[in-house]
Amino acid sequence: MLTREIVAQVRRLEIQTRKAVAETFAGSYQSVFKGTGMVFQEVRPYQPGDDVRAIDWNVSARMQQPYVKVFTEERERTAMLLLDLSRSLDFGTVDRTKGRLAAELAALLVFSAVRSGDRVGAILFSDRIESFVPPKKGKKHGMALVARILTAQPEGRGTDIAGALHHLGRVIRRRAIVFLLSDFLGSDFEPALKVAARRHELVPIVLRDPAEEELPALGLATVEDPETGARMEIDLASERMRRRYQALIAAQVEARRRLFRRLDIEAVEVRCGEDPVRPLAAYFAAVRRRRAG
């Protein structure tokens, strides 16, 4: 049973995103993500001009004449959100945590899918699958899905992106639009990412916080890994230490970008403290221009 507070939060998010969905994303979402596949329609006798690759050899042998398979484009789309709930998303220093940013982005994408008449569902994950919401249509389902995201209380601390992508392959058999929202601090997910990108229209959304990438000069401090709970004391006043840390972060960012380029995947980077609509709108616009040209 949803509390009044959660219902109010969902309605507030729906109102906040309504303008962006109606104006910024009007046409962009639909033009970028067309039909997600071809659906078998019928088998009919071969006609001059038909693609010989469409010949159904089994039927042709039985009927003693060439028959071809006819397919039509599936107009109905399925959008899936894979949402990272690991403890590292509790971090945030500007105006929201990465987790809150992920929830706002998820709401924006859910309401965009609902407005476009698409089915939408979600896999919420940490180092395990926390929950799976099968894709459905309609505003009521969309509101319930956003509420599920807002009230999620993960049992796991870590991140298993590969596990989430494997689960996606088991529960979603047909081609879908997949938004993967994470800070991508996990590892060993390249093979699973490669498979998912072949099967689906995959859009990684990388959640970042500026303060994670540049440490303040505050002196001695105890830092804790949110996903493992491991603690260590570091001297934030040491310029050498801060430079080493920044170099490590820069290397991680570049390695992630190289991974996406290697797999020919275009990712969206969104930072805490910025309007989350802008990078998504820029992504849709860039993809639309590239496909048009």
DSSP string, 55-92: B-HHHHHHHTS-EEEEEEE----EEEEEEE--GGGG--
Residue 239 or residue 121, greater confidence: 121
Q: What is the mean pLDDT of residues 147-161?
A: 92
What per-residue confidence (pLDDT) applies to 225? 60
Residue 7 or residue 87, greater confidence: 87
pTM: 0.79
Closest to 97 (Cα-Cα) out of 155, 105, 112? 105
Residue 31 or residue 266, greater confidence: 266
Contacts of 75 (CB under 8 A, 6+ apart): 35
Q: What is the mean pLDDT of residues 184-199?
A: 92
Give percent above pLDDT 90 in the chain: 42
Domains with residue ranges and CATH for the chain: 4-32+77-292 (3.40.50.410), 38-73 (no CATH)
Dist. CA 250–CA 171, nearest whole Å = 36
What average pLDDT does the structure give for the chain? 84
Confidence of residue 5 (pLDDT cuts 50, 70, 90): confident
**What are the backbone dihedrals phi and psi of residue 230, each rounded to the nearest 5 degrees, phi first?**
-65, 140
Q: What is the mean pLDDT of residues 251-263?
A: 93
